[in-house]
Amino acid sequence: MKLTRLLLVLSAGSFMLVSGSCNGEKSVSDGAVEKAEKLVAQMTLEEKIGQMSQLDLGYFRDQEQLKQAVRDGRCGSLLNFLGTEQVNELQRIAVEESRLGIPLIIGRDVIHGYRTIFPIPLGMAASWNPEAVRQAFRISAIEASSHGIRWTFAPMIDITWDPRWGRIAEGCGEDPFLASTLAAAMVKGIQGDSLDDPTSLAACAKHYVGYGFAEAGRDYNTTWIPEPLLRNAVLKPFHAAKEAGAQTFMSAFNDLNGVPTSGNEFTLKKILREEWGFDGFVVSDWASVTEMVNHGFAEDEKHAAEIAIRAGVEMEMATTSYYDNIKALLDDKKITMEQIDDAVMNILKVKYRLGLFDNPYADPEAEKKILDPAFLEHARSVARQSAVLLKNENAALPLDADKISSVAVIGPLADAPRDQLGTWCFDGRGENSVTPLKAVRDLMGEKRVNYVQALPYSRDRNKAGFAAAVAAARRSDAILFFGGEEWILSGEGQSRGEIDMPGAQSELLEALAATGKPVILVVMAGRPLAIGRELELSDAVLYAWHAGTMAGPAITDLLFGKESPSGKLPVTFVKGAGQIPFYYYRNNTGRPATDASWTPFDSIPTVNPQSSLGYRSFHLDYGFTPLLPFGYGLSYTTFDYSDLTLSSQVMKMDRTLTVRAKVTNSGEMDADEIVQFYVRDRVGSITRPIKELKGYKRLRINRGETADVEFTLTASDLAFFNGHKTVTEPGLFDVWIGPNSEEGLHDDFILE
């Protein structure tokens, strides 16, 4: 069943995959503010503190203690508690047996799927397809809500430049424009067309803010981000999430410029509340309130609670510093009742908007839609669009299943059902995964597939299986090597110092390449790996990320030419960890490197007078270019860019500028191309990036056809924060339309 058919057969209420947006005005239930005000006026202090407390299931000794806590109004939210029958019983107790009948809000991490698992968010970002991403998160919400979950801690929209950081897997990459468009799509998918629809979940924009800039990529580490960088890059996806109607924000673990983000009045009050007008509520990350003691910013948990409440963290996750200390803080006049009332108001408003007061219960019939065939088909489609073709020498791909006698399927991730689901995947099950091995066998038949795992897991260094793998390769027409990282090597707390292919995978790839058979490398990983050597050893390389439940069929569709790869990199690929950070929109230096200024490492003279080898900005061993640039991705066809035109060479501040080009599919296969639009501000009151993404379009172009593409610029698109204020400055600007951040047609214009 296709997804479009599903729209017709699902009920108009609970399971509609809506296409509409979820903005703040449409989402707010009539009278939510007034109802919340009236309810707050009736609450005791203990009940207010309860609403500000979110407790994990592990906090309670047994079910009876949990039920009594709900009766007493001890907690306003539960974390990691799910199941239709269980949730409905607790909601019944909350509504019927607590004094004021305030329903719970049940939270769960649903990061890239619930039971139908989609590619990791970094993989989905490689699709550059906000609509496909929106539908993926809508499906996730439909499945999760069937088990009583009405709040998810997603989207994770931290900008990062460091692939060593394990949580790069959960975000959308390095670019603020791409991340912003996807952040909005994710929020709209999670929350749906109407918040009070039973399948709507409250979205939570996280981690606010700067978490992705952890020093050296070490998780939870300190972050130092100048305000221009904070506003011009890091904050942009969060603002997009707020504008899309996100009902909650999560304060992060890190300290930002010396002030922990869970106690940071500048980001939580000044920016989020005063400048942006956010009117949902802020929840702390797990224990991030009490961790301010470890940061050395709070004397003890009581002091930490005071700081967080004053900064604007309305709900504490997991720890109990609010519950234990709010009464004393009020008595000591460290906080005010007005602050408590405001916090509870914001929480109750979201509960009213979600319709929890009218219907807190999950429909027992709803879980029948979990793993619906249409959901799995969409997961397959998104996984196809997320894969990025990095190399295809001598047209090694696509393979023709009708013309080859057999293929060798080799590697630790060819048949690893849990690993392909990726990190931060609580509810996905390996038993539902369709692996690449299974999908290739389904296509070619078991007898034509010579499978040798060779390495049981990605970090394995035991070469005992190499001989069998080489033998299988020699009796096959082509080699499909599935390598990369196990899921446990990326995600929270999973930072790496080196980002090479782990274990003995490179040595195995070298042994396979020595057979002379075509080697197709499929990388399944949670981060961009430094795969320069592996690129050299392979005839073709497909970067598939951790692609989810339907990874196998999606990858097989691409390897055998059912569809052309169309993904583009959402993050720069570096040559090695020593090149980090490397991101495309970096500022220029006073001495930018060129080909003429760089001497290759092996060509440096051994006897040499004192010399700087060019007096330019580069690494002696890495040079000045990345392994692969942001926006890069190949296809089975070729696309030619031509006829770049500007509507004018001069743009007035109160007018727009239209930039047009033609893109022709000059190859032999119908395919998608992601056309990218970049701008450079030549001179600014602070130094400006060498390029900035300002638009993109994913186009289906049939072979032999030409598509006209255009992008429109306004003065606000060119604005930036210069350290004092947000400005749009007149002057000369460059524009490019092209297939990635390093190639494209170029022109310039003057802004007056």
Report the pLDDT value the prediction gives residue 616, as an integer from 0 to 100: 87
DSSP label of 10: S
Report the pLDDT value the prediction gives residue 30, as an integer from 0 to 100: 58
Question: Cβ neighbours of residue 386 under 8 Å, at least 6 residues apart?
Answer: 119, 123, 124, 126, 127, 544, 545, 547, 567
Report the pLDDT value the prediction gives residue 358, as an integer from 0 to 100: 97
| H helix runs in 622-725, sequence order | none
At 671, is the secondary structure helix, strand, or coil? strand
Q: Which CATH number is 532's domain given? A: 3.40.50.1700
* Domain boundary residue, one of 528, 559, 590: 559
Whether 435 and 512 map to the same domain: the answer is: yes
* Domain boundary residue, one of 532, 559, 586: 559
Average pLDDT, the chain: 95
Whether 328 and 473 map to the same domain: the answer is: no
Task: Determine, yes or no, domain membership for 585.
Answer: no
Is 255 labeled as catalytic in the residue annotation? no
* pLDDT grade for 11, boundaries at 50, 70 and 90: very low
Whether 281 and 395 map to the same domain: the answer is: no
Write b or e for each residue in 385-421: b if 16 or more Cβ atoms lie within 10 A of its Cβ, otherwise e: bbbbbbbbeeebbbbebeeeebbbbbbbbbbbbebbb
DSSP label of 55: E
Whether 648 and 514 map to the same domain: the answer is: no
Number of domains in the chain: 3
Whether 251 and 145 map to the same domain: the answer is: yes
Q: Measured at the alpha carbon of residue 295, what is the angle toward residues 292 and 296, in degrees to the nearest 5?
A: 95
H or E stretch covering 700? strand 692-701
> Rounded to an integer, what distance in angstroms lies between the CA atom of residue 64 and that of residue 284?
27
Task: Determine, yes or no, domain membership for 335.
Answer: yes
Report the pLDDT value the prediction gives residue 604, as an integer from 0 to 100: 79
Task: Determine, yes or no, domain membership for 564.
Answer: no
> Rounded to an integer, what distance in angstroms lies between the CA atom of residue 261 and that of residue 695?
31
> Rounded to an integer, what distance in angstroms lies between the CA atom of residue 363 and that of residue 73?
24
Task: Determine, yes or no, domain membership for 596.
Answer: no
- Listed range (29-43, 299-313, 404-418, 560-574) with the worst mean pLDDT: 29-43
* pLDDT grade for 27, boundaries at 50, 70 and 90: very low
pLDDT at 5 over 70: no
Report the pLDDT value the prediction gives residue 455, as an integer from 0 to 100: 98
Q: What share of the chain is helix, strand, coil (3-state, %, to 5)?
A: 35, 20, 45
Report the pLDDT value the prediction gives residue 610, as an integer from 0 to 100: 65
DSSP string, 516-559: -S-EEEEEE-SS----HHHHHH-SEEEE--S--TTHHHHHHHHH
Whether 264 and 350 map to the same domain: the answer is: yes
Query: Structural domain of residue 111, as residue ranges?
Result: 32-366
Edge-to-edge strand ranges of the sheet holding 407-410: 388-392, 540-543, 519-524, 478-484, 407-410, 449-452
Report the pLDDT value the prediction gives residue 458, as an integer from 0 to 100: 98
Report the pLDDT value the prediction gives residue 724, as an integer from 0 to 100: 97
Q: Which CATH number is 747's domain given? A: 2.60.40.10
pLDDT at 23 over 50: no
Mutual angle of helices 176-191 and 236-243, in 10-degree steps: 30
Report the pLDDT value the prediction gives residue 615, as an integer from 0 to 100: 82
Task: Determine, yes or no, domain membership for 269.
Answer: yes
Catalytic member of 196, 255, 285, 460? 285
At 656, is the secondary structure helix, strand, or coil? coil
Task: Determine, yes or no, domain membership for 511.
Answer: yes
Whether 161 and 124 map to the same domain: the answer is: yes
Q: What one-letter code names the amino acid at 476?
A: S
14 or 360: which leads in pLDDT: 360
Task: Determine, yes or no, domain membership for 624.
Answer: no
Report the pLDDT value the prediction gives residue 6, as an integer from 0 to 100: 31
Whether 165 and 45 map to the same domain: the answer is: yes
Kindly report, residue by residue over 309-323, the tens digit of the pLDDT.
999 999 999 999 999
Kindly report, residue by residue over 497-552, the tens digit of the pLDDT.
999 999 999 999 999 999 999 999 999 999 999 999 999 999 999 999 999 999 99
Kindly report, residue by residue over 63-107, the tens digit of the pLDDT.
999 999 999 999 999 999 989 999 999 999 999 999 999 999 999
* pLDDT grade for 599, boundaries at 50, 70 and 90: confident
Whether 175 and 302 map to the same domain: the answer is: yes
CA 59 to chain centre: 30
* Domain boundary residue, one of 334, 366, 398: 366
Whether 416 and 449 map to the same domain: the answer is: yes
Whether 47 and 173 map to the same domain: the answer is: yes
> Rounded to an integer, what distance in angstroms lies between the CA atom of residue 623 and that of residue 150?
50
Whether 220 and 293 map to the same domain: the answer is: yes
Q: Which CATH number is 273's domain given? A: 3.20.20.300
Task: Determine, yes or no, domain membership for 694.
Answer: yes
Query: Of 627, 617, 701, 704, whose CA–CA distance to 666 is shortest?
Result: 704
DSSP string, 317-384: ES--HHHHHHHHHHHTTSS-HHHHHHHHHHHHHHHHHTTTTT--PPPTTGGGGTT-HHHHHHHHHHHH
